Structure 1
Amino acid sequence: MRYLTADELIAINSRLAIRAGQQPGINNSEQLGKVIAVPQSNAYDQNLREMVANKTGFLMEAIIAGKPFVNMNLQTAAIAVATLADLNDYELTFTNDELVDLVDRVDKDQVEATDLFAIFNGHLKQK
C-alpha cells in the first residue's frame, strides 16, 4: 500500500491555494503529521481494495476534521483521496458533484467516519 507523504499533501494544498489566488501555508504542522499517520495505522483489512477504501476514508476525515492547512482543506481532502486511490491502482467513481457533496457532509459531521469505508468501497474501481 502506497501512502501520501507530507510533502505530497503540502504540494496538493499549495497548488490548490495558488490557483485560487490564496496564500498556501500550514496551519498546524503537528496536525499535518497526524493526518499523514492516520491512514498508515494498522487495520484488519483483508485485501488491497479494502485497505484503499478504509485509508481514503480515514484520510478524508483526518484532513477535514484536522484542518492542517491555512485554507483549501476541503479541496485538499478531495484531491488527496483521489490521489491515494490512484497511487494504489484504483480510481474513484464519484461524480464531481457526489464528491463535493460527500466532502461537505463530512465537514458538517453528517457522515460517521465508520460509514466512509462503505461509501469509498462502493466508489472504487481497479485500473
Structure 2
Amino acid sequence: MALPKPGTPVRGSTTGRPIMALLDLLGRRWVLRILWELREETLTFRELRERCDAMSPTVLNQRLRELREADIVVLEEPYGYALSKQGRQLLEALMPLQRWSEQWQKKLAAKADQES
C-alpha cells in the first residue's frame, strides 16, 4: 500500500486534498497509537511494540516506514523512534480532539447514569 500523499488520489479523494491524504494516513491501523505512544519520549522498536499491545513486528515496521517517509517520525540512532518537529505539530493539532473525547465520555456516562 503506497503512502498517502497530498496531490495524489487517496482513500476518500480522487484529487488527493491534503486533509484527505492526512486522514488516510492517520486512519491506517496502529498509526494513531504509535503517535500517541511517542508523544512524550523516544522509544526503541521493542518498547514501542510492547506499548502497542505487542502488535506484529511486520506491521510496526511498515507503519514506522510510512511515518518516517511522511516526515512525522524520525529514527534517532541509537535511541529509537521519536516524533519529528512536524510530528509534534501534528500531535499538538490533535490534542483538542483528545479534550473533546474526554468531555464526550463524561457526557455519555452521565446520560447512561440518568437512564438507569
Q: Same fold (TM over 0.5)?
A: no
Larger Rg: 2
Greater helix proportion: 1
